[in-house]
Structure 1
Amino acid sequence: MSLSKLVLRSMKKNMKHYYLYFFALIFSVTLYFSFVTLQNNTEVWAAVQMSGTATAGFKAATYILYFIVLFFVLYANHLFMKRRSKEIGLYQLIGMTKGLIVRLLAVENILLFVGAVIIGMLAGFFSSRVFAMILLRVLEKEALVTMTFSTQALLQSMIVFTILLIIVLIQMAWMIHHVSLLSLFSAAKQADERVRRFSAFQMVIGFLGLILIVYGYYASTKLFDIESAGNLFINMIIILATTIGGTFLVFRFSVAFIMNTIRLKKKGHLSIKDVLALTPIMHRMKSNAKSLTLITVLTGVSLGVTTLSYIAYYSSEASAYSQVPGDFILLEEQGEEFLEKLEENNIAYDKIDYRLQGVTAAVGQLMSKKQQDNPLYTMEGTIYTIPLSDYQQSVPEAKLSGNEVILTNYGGYMAEMFPLEKDHDLVVSAGELEETFHVVDIHDKSVISGIVTAGGGGPIFVVTDDMFKSLTTQAALYPWHHQTTITLKSNEDIATAEKLYIQSNAGIITAVDDKGKTKQYTQSSYEGKRKDNIESLGLTIFTTAFLGLAFLMTTGSILYFKQMSEAEEERDSYTILRKIGFAEKDIMKGIYMKQAFNFGVPLVIGLLHSYFAVKSGWFLFGTELTAPLWIAMCCYIALYTIFAILSVGYYKKVVRQSL
């Protein structure tokens, strides 16, 4: 029989195995080709107008995606080879040399790759338009996206998957040449590691794994505290080591030990559900600890990165408002022409005037007592004050007397990293005047432009009108003295007002800085700042979401593939159970519990990892945590649930066919 006929017969016979591997290849090619096609879509990038940094980030994402695809395909190929181990062993028993077997499987893999690449590229070509529309939607851009075939994307993908094919062939040849004939007949039943009897030492190690994870979570909550800021990198390494190491120990010992304890308490009176759930969970969790740890860590990392990116994107409006707390900001009584144009165009608006006066103070004096040895405690800087009557235009209920002050405009990452406390005294100076303020309250409401507060989020003191007058009598030189906040009454007028704002150059301000030098500043409008945030963060959230989807599909598919493999291994056991009288529903009860553990435990631990990772530094990315975190987690839970349902469906088919 010729090699070509043998290949065709082998592929026809192994179709039930091939479709799993074929799907993995098609999925990988589709993901990669759609992403590369989008990268080379000139119409999209003409509308997006990416910066050099964004372009570099998008290219880096392409390499990350390729490594995801490489990991996915190599694992699928490894699983596929294990499922065909008996067949390969039979080939050797009938006299076929290892070299001939390698050529046989190589031809099969080449045919599979060619078919998968053709189908995957077609699917990727059509899906790239969908992804392009999603990207433009995220960036709030309008552009006509046509079906444009990129020869550059085609060439790049062909090169990439040719390299991947060579790696897969090397992996396959290595497995065949370095595995004994006897081991081939038991390879499908081999797990990551041999299972041994439980001991007291293993119990202690399992408990240690839980302690390591808990410590990693606790350390993550203290990562950005002022006291540990100097050892940030070392603390991050410790957190990663303890959580990843603890996760491995939990899978290797803790879960298996708990399941074994439950089984021993039953004193041999095991139901069919226990036989099909507790015992397989005990052995699978312990023996497949390495792969489950990898899946859990990948889930946590991808979810954490996606969530942080979404927090930044979700908070783009709040971040813009902290910089521009009004539709338009006019500084130093400039912008009269803009106001006249608004009235000429019958655009109704509300106006609040804030008088500003700078003082010098060290806000570290408002930190807690345990933080007062920090250098920030005595570090002085310029802080602006506004009179109470101006502040009451936006906060009517505010009240002060004497030397009482309200600290406002203080929020975001500044408030999280450097928390300040009220009911503290604070010594300030303005020229030759020195006063002691008593802070009665701290507000996070943004009222003053980010230009004035040097980036936004900086504190502003609200003082009584009498105190403000005494501060303005000082001859100290501070650059800002007046701000006018304009808020339009109708959102329909925003587009017209934006054009008038640009035409009148109301956002170009000339002022004297604290060193006496004349400097020009550019004050954006709120809508302009919001769009800048959307454009800078939209591409990031799209890229990370795409990579997160790839990670999620990879880890979910791997779990699904493992369950399909286990179902085939346990087919004989189901046949025996059916023959002695157990109904399908009795067997499925144990399988339901088993699948809940196989998919639920890695997902839950991965969600916990990502939650504490995000919780430790989310405030560096935005102002809102709860909604983005829940949305991202729900997406991951939904997709894992789909994989679990597919896995249960496959088990049900195996159980039905077992009799």
Structure 2
Amino acid sequence: MSLLGLTLKNVRRNFGLYTIYAVSMVIGMMIFFSFASVMYNGDILDALENRQNFQTGFAIASFVIVLFIVLFILYANSFFVRQRKKELGLYMLYGMNERHVLLMLMYETLMIGVVSLAIGGLLGGLLSKIFGSLLMNLMQYDRVISLSYPVQAILATVAVFAIVTAAACVQSYLLLTRVQLIDLFRARERTEKPIASSAPLAILAVALLGSAIAIIGGGKQTVFWTDYAAASMIYCAIGIIGGTYLFFRQFAGWVLQKLSRGKGYFEGNTVLWTSAIRFQIRGNTMNLSFISLFSTVLILLMCFVSINYAVQFEAVGRNLPNDVAYESKSDAVDAEVKSEIEASGHAITGRHALELLCADAVSDAGAAFDNPAYFFPGLLLVSAAEYNAIVKDRHDEGQQVRLEGNQAVSLSQGMDFPEALPGGGIDFTVRAKSDKTFRLIEKKDYALLGWASDPVLSMVKKPAMLIISDAAFGELRGNAAAANYLIYDIADAGNAEALSKRLHAIVTKDPEAYYSSFADVYSKQIEGSSLLLFASAFLALIALFALASVIYFKQLREATEARQQYAILRQLGVDKREMMSVIRKQLLFVFALPLLPGLVNSWLIIKTYILDSVQDFPNLKGMVWGIIAVYFLIYAGFYLASTTIYYRIANRAA
């Protein structure tokens, strides 16, 4: 019989095992093709304002997804080859050499791969329409996405298929050449030895994890992060990674050892499920550590990108609160700007003329403005009445101020936390022809004018503004240089990129003139955050499949190897209900133990270093808990599916 004929016979004989491998290949090809189809879809590209950034971001994400797919398929291929080692050993015993066996495996991989490529491509094309529509909804673009199979996506998927096939063949070759013939027959007869646990190492595991969690949970205002940030970061990384490994390698074994010496060890079925775990803990250490750390990273990734997306819509408005704002230096420019807006189709819904006074800071600017390097040199002074009028028009009455005498408030836009200065404030001196000292009573995280913007460069810098009392403004008005600004509210400001380019060209004929437009940043920020969320969701999807494969194949292998033990239990009178109870408890220990550290670590990091910095967005905490809940439910689904599969395989021995 030829090798090709033998390959076809193997596929028919081991159809169930081949199906598992084929499903892994189909999922990998389907996910990548749907992602690549979105990247090259003409309808999506036509809708974007920043096409080049979109394709660059997708190309980077595609590379990461390919890595996940390769690792995912290699894990499945490793299980596939190891499950057939006895069969492959028989072929070699009957005279086939390693080259023939490898060619047979390569034929099998190609056959399964071609079928998987075709099915995955067809399904991926259908999914790409759904994912493309989802991406447009994330970007808030009203665009219908057509079903398409772009040539570039097909070629990219074929290239990924070639990479995956080559990697699987190399892996199969290494698995065959690194073992002796006798090892192929005894590969499924080896059993793990119970790990020797150590109380000091178990205590060290808890100490490492506990201290790392304590430092993280203490917050970024503690001395660890303010004075020793680099050392704290390194220690937390070592504590979490090393502590997690020792937690499963030593602490879990130590707990099981103590449990085996307890009075109730021989009551119920405790001895059955604990003894099985004690023999498997050595081989499961890396898997359990990987699952725990993987859960932390995956939850952090999805929470971060979701929070980033959720705050962008409001954050852009906070950074650039005006649809169009510019420094008015001539009546001719003002007339040209107004004429251009009226001709654009973006109706003018509001107009405000703002008179400010120019000054320079004599005191250290850092006392009034966080990160003063982000601000333009000099100061702009605004009266409390003028400021309150604009704030009222924006319906931000909570940001209004009441000032008397020499009191002042700085607009330090971009602070993590607004700051009311203690002790009645600090003295802050400005120079407007002559020096004037104000009592700075508050640093407010608010923008009256916002960042200067550029249609190409996006945000540039922002003006440093000081709110002063009306009396102080009237006193300085005759002695300080005045600067006039015009603010326009227009309809459909988020889609005014073309108008902003024309207005920017008019205003910046004087290169020192201030210009700011909401549209210059809105499309870039929304498209960028939507792309990040979309790509991260894809990465999370393929990562979850990778996690599922690790769990599934590990449990499938252990259940297959434990058939004989479960057959003996049945002969001793253990019924099906008791056996299912043993399996559930055994797998619950394996599943729940790595999940808890992952959830705790991810929540503490998100709460301390993200949520506490965006307290003005109260809905974010619920969104984070929602993501954690979804992950928990998916993980619980893995647990229930694994118990069913494990029981079915074990019951087959009866």
TM range (shorter): 0.7 to 0.9
Indicate the residue corresponding to 2:33 in structure 1: 33
Q: Separation in 1 of the partners of 2:598 and 2:488?
A: 46
Structure 1 position 632 matched with structure 2 position 633: no
Q: 1:442 to 1:225 in 2, by over 3 A?
A: farther
Indicate the residue corresponding to 2:404 in structure 1: 401
Structure 1 position 600 matched with structure 2 position 599: no
Q: Separation in 1 of the partners of 2:549 and 2:497?
A: 54
Q: Separation in 2 of the partners of 1:375 and 1:48?
A: 33
Structure 1 position 57, deviation (Å): 2.1
Q: Is the 8 A contact 1:322 1:457 kept in 2?
A: no
Output the amino acid matched with 1:325: P
Structure 1 position 250, deviation (Å): 1.9
- How many residues end up aligned between the 2 structures? 631
Structure 1 position 20 matched with structure 2 position 15: no
Structure 1 position 26, deviation (Å): 1.0
Structure 1 position 92, deviation (Å): 4.4
Indicate the residue corresponding to 2:456 in structure 1: none
Q: Aligned with 1:392: secondary structure?
A: helix
In the alignment, structure 2 segments of 5+ residues that lack a partner are 454-458
Indicate the residue corresponding to 2:517 in structure 1: 524
Output the amino acid matched with 1:461: L
Output the amino acid matched with 1:253: Q
Q: Is the 8 A contact 1:364 1:376 kept in 2?
A: yes
Q: Separation in 1 of the partners of 2:334 and 2:498?
A: 9
TM-score by length of structure 1 reads 0.82
Q: Is the 8 A contact 1:253 1:286 kept in 2?
A: no
In the alignment, structure 1 segments of 5+ residues that lack a partner are 368-373, 489-493
Structure 1 position 66, deviation (Å): 1.0
Q: Aligned with 2:261: secondary structure?
A: helix
**Deviation string for 1:276-325 (max 9, x for gaps)?**
54344445444322233333333333332333222222111221111232
Match of 2:473 among 461, 468, 474: 468
* % identical equivalent positions: 22
Structure 1 position 67, deviation (Å): 0.8
TM-score by length of structure 2 reads 0.82
Q: Separation in 2 of the partners of 1:346 and 1:147?
A: 33
Structure 1 position 74, deviation (Å): 0.9
Q: Aligned with 1:356: secondary structure?
A: strand
Indicate the residue corresponding to 1:249 in structure 2: 246
Q: Aligned with 2:475: secondary structure?
A: helix
Match of 2:257 among 252, 260, 265: 260
**Deviation string for 1:129-169 (max 9, x for gaps)?**
22222222222223343333233332332233223212211
Q: Aligned with 2:426: secondary structure?
A: strand
Q: Separation in 2 of the partners of 1:595 and 1:484?
A: 64
Q: Aligned with 2:427: secondary structure?
A: strand
Q: Is the 8 A contact 1:571 1:658 kept in 2?
A: yes
Q: Is the 8 A contact 2:409 2:444 kept in 1?
A: yes
Output the amino acid matched with 2:198: S
Report which stretch shifted further, 610-619 or 500-509.
500-509
Q: 1:481 to 1:521 in 2, by over 3 A?
A: closer
Structure 1 position 353, deviation (Å): 5.9
**Deviation string for 1:530-562 (max 9, x for gaps)?**
334212322222122212221222113321222
Q: Is the 8 A contact 1:353 1:482 kept in 2?
A: yes
Output the amino acid matched with 1:448: L
Report which stretch shifted further, 23-32 or 573-582.
573-582
Q: 1:556 to 1:604 in 2, by over 3 A?
A: farther
Indicate the residue corresponding to 2:312 in structure 1: 316
Q: Separation in 2 of the partners of 1:90 and 1:330?
A: 82
Q: Separation in 2 of the partners of 1:617 and 1:304?
A: 11
Q: Separation in 2 of the partners of 1:53 and 1:242?
A: 37
Q: Aligned with 1:429: secondary structure?
A: strand
Q: Separation in 1 of the partners of 2:165 and 2:528?
A: 37
Q: 1:471 to 1:236 in 2, by over 3 A?
A: farther
**Deviation string for 1:431-487 (max 9, x for gaps)?**
3544444444454344332239x8688874332211222343443x68x5545474x
Structure 1 position 69, deviation (Å): 0.8
Q: Separation in 1 of the partners of 2:368 and 2:496?
A: 43
Structure 1 position 287 matched with structure 2 position 283: yes
- Aligned-CA RMSD value: 4.2
Structure 1 position 429, deviation (Å): 1.3
**Deviation string for 1:361-415 (max 9, x for gaps)?**
4354479xxxxxx9989x996444432223433337743333333444544xx32
Q: 1:546 to 1:651 in 2, by over 3 A?
A: same
Q: Separation in 2 of the partners of 1:224 and 1:204?
A: 26
Indicate the residue corresponding to 2:640 in structure 1: 645
Report which stretch shifted further, 145-154 or 92-101.
92-101
Q: Aligned with 1:519: secondary structure?
A: coil
Q: Is the 8 A contact 2:405 2:469 kept in 1?
A: yes
Structure 1 position 386 matched with structure 2 position 379: no
Q: Separation in 1 of the partners of 2:288 and 2:586?
A: 15
Indicate the residue corresponding to 1:426 in structure 2: 427
Output the amino acid matched with 1:576: I
Q: Is the 8 A contact 1:256 1:282 kept in 2?
A: yes
Structure 1 position 336, deviation (Å): 7.2
